[in-house]
Amino acid sequence: MESALVATRDGLQLASAGLDIDDADRLAAVITGEYATARSVNEIRPLGGVRQVVVEFDDGFLFIMHAGNHAAGDANSRTLSTLLGVTATVSADAGLVGAEMAHLIGSLANHLTTGSRQAVPVGGGR
């Protein structure tokens, strides 16, 4: 594994490893777009839920899995749908990476709650 990222399905980066902040934000946008593209296949052929998206490059892989729906932590009791994205070298065992991602998702379920956001009054609160 080279890097890992947890993001909301609307592209907000929640946590990352192996990436600087700018690359983490860019990868969050990429994994949400790729996942959305895969989900849109159901409009053509009803194949069920997307379990995993794998993009194979000359020198590595991008793996994307749905990481679950988690409480948003706000007063509206919303839930956030999250994704886990992992980049790996070409020598990675794709089956093992997928299994480890599934294990990680199960382990992190209790930690993937996003705190509530407070509204900022017009004028910056002054």
CB 94 within 8 A of CB 61: yes
Q: How far apart are CA 97 and CA 77, in angstroms?
A: 33
Residue 15, token pair as written in the block: 């946590």
| pLDDT value at residue 68 | 84
What is the pLDDT confidence band of residue 107, given thresholds at 50, 70 and 90?
Answer: confident
State mean pLDDT over 59-80. 78
Boundaries of every domain in the chain = 3-111
Listed range (3-7, 80-84, 106-110, 113-117) with the worst mean pLDDT: 113-117
**Which residue has better confidence, 123 or 44?**
44
| pLDDT value at residue 23 | 97
Biggest CA-to-CA distance, the chain: 55
Minimal CA–CA distance to 66: which of 101, 24, 110?
Answer: 101
- Per-residue pLDDT reduced to its tens digit, 9-28: 899 999 999 999 999 999 99
Residue 62, token pair as written in the block: 């991008």
What is the pLDDT confidence band of residue 79, given thresholds at 50, 70 and 90?
Answer: confident
CATH fold of 3-111, please?
Beta-Lactamase (3.30.450)
| pLDDT value at residue 47 | 92
